[in-house]
Structure 1
Amino acid sequence: MSPIRLSDLAFTLEAVVDEAFGQKAVWVVAETSDIKNYPDRGYCFLTLVERESAGRETLAKLDACIWRRNYHTIGAFEQATGVAFARNIQLLLLVSVSFSPVYGLRLEILKIDPSYTLGNLERERQAVLDSLVQNHPELIWVEAGQYITANQLLPRPAVMQKLALIAAPHSDGWRDFRHELAQNQFGYDFVVDEYLTQVQGQGAERAICGQLERIRTSGIAYDAVVIVRGGGSQLDFGSFDTYMMGETVAGFSIPILAGIGHERNVSITDLLCHQSVKTPTKAAAFLIEHNRQFEATCLQLHERLRIVAREAMQTARENLDRETERLRFVGHTYFRERHTDLTEKTVTIRHLDPARVLRRGYALLLRDGRILTQTATIQLNETLQVQMHDGSITVVVSQ
């Protein structure tokens, strides 16, 4: 068999590929790898691979590109999904197939379907949630379509002041949270112990759960644990969507406040923690507002107590005035009646005064100065005294 020129083989391959795929576009599912993105030039080179699900063995690998005319599809994908266009993402792509005798076989990416990626993320998250509910029914269960966890049911302290903070060291999330907390307009003081660690990337969930274990065994009575992370792509928040994080957060013995800076999707950590807010700044604002409500309640109770005390004093004063008036009236009546009694008794006593009686012609018969009232006690020839109003005389009993 005579050899052929390489160019003849290449042109033949080009014709075969053009006949099979020319003027056609096909949808393929593939995983991204080896991305070389040039935003300033408006094109991107990458490798698309298919791996065996169990062993991760590579089954197929093809080079691909996105040219300027379709470069906008990257931004549209990121905006629709919140996922950064990066390596190791499973994508549904509309591609055209071409073969160049010089550059070889290449796929040109025309479109990226964001709904496929969103569906994959949601399916993976739902599978994790289903496993948690099945394996830990004492920590997480579903009521009326809502996930309920042991951490959510923990009593919330009236004042959240002693805090454990989990964040990446000197990150934007860490800085925003501390600044908002320190600059609160009410002048509240917070005691924050920092448990700094990585919060994204490979092994991040183990690092975060390790810090939660440190907090649990510290013996410190924290009012709440705050987990914060600044903004980023959806893939950057993968550590908050894992089975390990869900299990740890759902059963943690201290209320967990999550301030994870992603606006688009709700992570498993958000769903299962005690309270979730969107950003580190809002996490600090939530704590400030919680304490402000406690202060407002105290001020309302203080005002209510002041009003009740004032009303009680007013009622007591009115009762005292009424009882004083009643006592005055009763006392006045009593003394008036006693004065009348004394006047009558005075008149009676005056009428019974012996001097007055003697003046009316009566006399007293006395023996040794003692008044005699019965004749049986008087003896014959006894000497007695007769007292009259103007003097006394001595008499002898003769009969």
Structure 2
Amino acid sequence: MPTISAPRAVVDGRMTGPATVAVEDGVITSVTQEDEVAAAAADIVLPDGVLTAGLVDIQINGAFGVDFAAAGDAQWNLVASRLPATGVTSFQPTYITAPLDDLIRGLAVAEAVQRRQAVGPYARILGVHLEGPFLSPSRHGVHEKRFLAEPTADAVDRILDAPAAEMLTMVTLAPELPGALAAIRRFTDAGIRVSVGHTDATAVQITAAADAGATLVTHIFNAQRGLAHREPGVPGATMADRRFYCGLIADLHHVAKEVCLLVWRGARGRVVLVTDAIAAAGMPAGKYTLSGIPVVLENGVPRNADGTIAGSALTLDLAVRNMISLGLPEAQVIEAASRVPADALGRTDLGRIAVGAKADLVWWSEGFHPRRTWVDGREVTAGAESAPSLPAARETLAVSP
């Protein structure tokens, strides 16, 4: 039974160590804490740094020059093989507002990719997040207004009856739209998470959405009615209501560091770090696209022609470092990018070092840069077509320069 040990590890929401994790058939079978003898006898001994569960990004439109809305097989493979270098072992590809037929076709594309990548050195596709088209015309942001739609019964039928409907795991919508509350109930009854976003809803309307089954807010403070002292708006309502997980783009551009701290404290234990990354993530300044929309990456922020922020160039490991740099506890920040997003999707088998969870693991440097990543107990190296599982033979690692 292969084992891996580290001097420090994030287990059960706290920093502990040394810790030793045993893996069999891609699943964690035991976790031993604060046992130096077991740690020293492990098959893989990490000499320093921190061992954590793999990160889970539930909002990502693309990365490394690839836009999921237009990606071919090789491009999907490129992203899924490079994300582990950022600590991400599971992700939820996101399609923004487009004609409904295009979004439905996108579900089938993602299904084929997920099936094809089931065995291989890739981060895991969890399902698809549709961010639109059921958004507020007054809060559409970079989404093309001409493709916005109301969540009518017919539109919901078309999505739920689509051949690849099982790939849909999350929908972002504006709950104040006509038919939205009925749509929320239908989506949640089908096991699909509903997030409020791109919305001008009042706090009262946000509460009604939660009563109907909504459980998340998409990129809090962005493209939504803001926080005021008499009208809590979307941020105030979702931070106050413990039924909501709060998605936060912690690139320190979308949300100022002071407001990141406000969200952290206002939604304690419910903050989900997301990237909302587009093709520009992991790439140099230049021109990219988001669902066919031309954008320019300058000074770390992608914008469309009128200057509207168009997603981000963030990677999830950088979001972790940004939040730690604000003085927040390391273990809790890691959980905001691993266990909490997994819980938000109902995936209790992901995002944690625990018996029965998938053996998705990341070895970080002391400065929280990913050094080595495993998915299902299989090491994933960026660009590799194959990689070994955790070895049975003992391996003591040297510190990289």
TM-score w.r.t. length of structure 2: 0.22
Q: Select the structure of larger CA radius of gyration.
A: 1
Structure having the larger proportion of residues in helix:
1
Name the structure, 1 or 2, with higher relative contact order (CA <8 Å, separation 6+): 2
TM-score w.r.t. length of structure 1 = 0.22
